[in-house]
Amino acid sequence: MEEIKKNMLRKRAEMLPVVTEEMWDKVNSNNKAIMEEYFESNQQLSPDTQIQYNSALRQFFWWAYMRCSNIPLYEIKKSQFIKYRSMLISHGLSSSGLAMKKSAVSSLCNFIENVYAEENKLYEHFKNFTRGLPAVTKNTVYEKIKITEEEYHDMINVLEEQEDYLGMAWLSCAFNVGARRGEIVQFKTEMLTYGHQLNSKGEEQKYTFSHIVRGKGAGRDGKSLKFMINDDAIKYMLLWVEKRGYEHEQIFTVRYANEYHQLSREWANSFCDNKLSPILGRRITPHIFKASAITFLLEQGHDMKTVSKHIAHHENVATTQIYDLRSDDEERDGLF
């Protein structure tokens, strides 16, 4: 099999050691209690963010156990947090990984300042020690290489030869719709019967709207989204539903333990690693598809504002610009 290019710009950091329950038992009881209080009181975090923050805070408090004599949070100083961040930098953590871990600690500190300090004298003079730190130099581990329309069709053709109808349905949604992996798996079979959207003149358009899907956002409800589903995506989803041979409320399902379940996000990771990456000969992840969908539409001449509003579902066009992977060769070559 052809070697898969990793598209790496720098060496990826090794995973930090998992804080086991045996390790966690040794952590300062005050720190464990304030962390528990924080999660019980904070319902603005999405389920995914809760998981990330829980892991990040356990890592931080284990570091405090190892390097700061297990002192309580109210005794930790800014200089000590800088040492913690320096340890993460030395470990090779990416700037985005550092930002997430800082955000977890900062969110906890804000909770203490704004809520908890009023009820606990130990924290009455507590200040968020993550504020005012020097910025971390932004870095990138993997180069973002867009998936072109030609490459999309190449992948579809290979999957069709393999009779991987589920894979074709997922791929068509990821490339055409611009939905994230956690949004795609929410698509219900009923939306395949909605029919094309009509414009103000009653003319049939080449897309349908999805039902309301939970998008990325704060809280358990996240952001309510309706996606534009084009004919190509509808075609392959219909094909999958026809071929799978059973009825189910959800489109994207797999059989497990004699029952059918909605696809997990891990399925998408495995599918990209084991099916799509070998086809294109380079590292493909679920995250590259949103950027590819946005880039493809921009290359077709659609303006950034329209794509940002209706496809990317971003509140700020500047966010959509981050997803723009168009080549600047022609623009650059015209300078001289």
Check pLDDT > 60 for residue 1: no
Q: Which residue has the higher pLDDT, 116 or 15?
A: 116
Q: Is 323 a catalytic residue?
A: yes
Average pLDDT over the chain, rounded to an integer: 91
For residue 257, the model assigns a pLDDT of 80
Q: For 149-332, CATH number? A: 1.10.443.10
Percent of the chain whose pLDDT exceeds 90:
74
Long-range contacts of residues 106-113, Cβ cutoff 8 Å, at least 24 apart: 106/130, 106/131, 107/38, 107/42, 107/53, 108/34, 108/35, 108/38, 108/53, 108/57, 108/73, 111/38, 111/41, 111/42, 112/34, 112/38, 112/73
The catalytic residue among 12, 144, 188, 216 is: 216
For residue 333, the model assigns a pLDDT of 65
For residue 334, the model assigns a pLDDT of 65
DSSP 146: P
Three-state SS letters, 265-296: HHHHHHHHHHHHHHHHCECCCCCHHHHHHHHH
Domain ranges of the chain: 21-123, 149-332
| pLDDT tens digits, 287-320 | 999 999 999 999 999 999 999 999 999 999 999 9
| pLDDT tens digits, 47-84 | 889 999 999 999 999 999 999 999 999 999 999 999 99
The catalytic residue among 188, 244, 287, 310 is: 287
Check pLDDT > 90 for residue 168: yes
* pLDDT classification of 119: cutoffs 50, 70, 90: confident
Check pLDDT > 70 for residue 10: no
Pairing of strands 207-209, 228-230: antiparallel
* pLDDT classification of 85: cutoffs 50, 70, 90: very high
For residue 328, the model assigns a pLDDT of 75
Q: Is 248 a catalytic residue?
A: no
The label of the residue with tokens 């590819």 reads: 292
Calculate the CA 100 to chain-centre distance.
Answer: 12
Half-sphere exposure of 334 (CA within 13 A, CB side): 4
Phi, psi (rounded to 5 degrees) for 200? -65, -20
Reduced to 3 states (helix: H, G, I; strand: E, B; else coil), residue 167 is helix
Q: Which residues pair with 213 in a beta bridge?
A: 225
| pLDDT tens digits, 16-36 | 889 999 999 999 999 999 999
Under 8 Å between Cβ of 302 and 308: no
Check pLDDT > 80 for residue 336: no
| pLDDT tens digits, 175-192 | 999 999 999 999 999 999
Read off the pTM: 0.82
Q: Is 85 a catalytic residue?
A: no
Check pLDDT > 80 for residue 330: no
Average pLDDT for residues 5-19, to the nearest whole number?
78
For residue 331, the model assigns a pLDDT of 63
Check pLDDT > 80 for residue 13: no
| pLDDT tens digits, 195-243 | 999 988 899 999 999 999 999 887 777 899 999 999 999 999 999 999 9
For residue 107, the model assigns a pLDDT of 96
| pLDDT tens digits, 87-111 | 999 988 888 899 999 999 999 999 9
Measured CA to CA in angstroms, residue 231 lies from 49, 115, 177 at distances of 34, 51, 10
Buried b (16+ CB within 10 A) or exposed e, 37-65: bbeeebeebbeebeebbbbbbbbbbbbbb
The catalytic residue among 58, 101, 146, 180 is: 180
In single-letter form, the type of residue at position 97 comes to G
